[in-house]
Structure 1
């Protein structure tokens, strides 16, 4: 999982840099829509290439609702991220975006009832401080 996480971080960084470098005179919503469309196609190619499309029939109502809500949240995140990239500096936008980790920790503690370990709290505070230093 560590390799997947690091590769995800690398591709997230590439996403930001590529988006920022190509957004001159491009509406942020249009750019986000194109990105989402490309991601949509890529993911479905992967689903069919790995034979996982049969799992659709096994999705229950709760899974369908939560995955749908997750998709809405992701779409809104991308639209807002692209708007921030369009008007802000990439390094600052990427730094502020990492506050998602802090928000995720808070939600994991409150909604999922995961334990609020001291190292998680300290890490969240350090991320918050780092984002503040980068943005201000």
Structure 2
């Protein structure tokens, strides 16, 4: 697995960040005058259609029964937590400013690092912990700016 910035993972992660940023902006505009929970449902339905078309177009479809029970279990847990995250995110966007909500949402970076240590046995370096601390500090500064 490539660990450095030049690895393919990094470019996909940057694209993820760009799309996540646009998600916040588009969602903030899209939920104006609409209940946040209903907006989340509409978004989820659209995502299901788009991803189905993408998987079929790229010929990546496999028989779902071929997935191991452990895979189903953890993808199910991931779906539940994703849904909960989206509901909370859209509600926060409806109530607050995108420039405050998005940084707090990115506190997930800090939580992922902590959870990765506890559940996955990962061991970030001292420098990594410094970066994680900076992210946490930045979240606080941006969230509490007013």
User: What TM-score do the two structures reach when normalised by structure 2?
Assistant: 0.89
- Is 1:40–2:48 an aligned residue pair? yes
Q: Which runs of 5+ in 1 are unaligned?
A: none
8 Å Cα contact 1:17/1:90 also seen in 2: yes
CA distance in 2, matches of 1:41, 1:135: 34
How far the C-alpha of 1:58 sits from its partner, in A, is: 2.4
Q: 1:109 aligns with which of 114, 117, 125?
A: 117
* SS at structure 2 position matched to 1:53: coil
Query: Equivalent residue for 1:7?
Result: 15
8 Å Cα contact 1:109/1:115 also seen in 2: yes
- Could you report, residue by residue, the CA deviation over 1:94-121 in whole angstroms, capped at 9, with x for unpaired residues? 0101100101000101100011311221
User: What TM-score do the two structures reach when normalised by structure 1?
Assistant: 0.95
How far the C-alpha of 1:55 sits from its partner, in A, is: 5.0
CA distance in 1, matches of 2:123, 2:133: 16
CA distance in 1, matches of 2:92, 2:140: 16
Q: Give structure 1 regions of 4+ aligned residues with deviation exceeding 2 angstroms.
A: 55-58
* Mapping for residues 1-136 of structure 1, pairs under 5 Å: 1-136=9-144
Q: CA RMSD in A?
A: 1.1
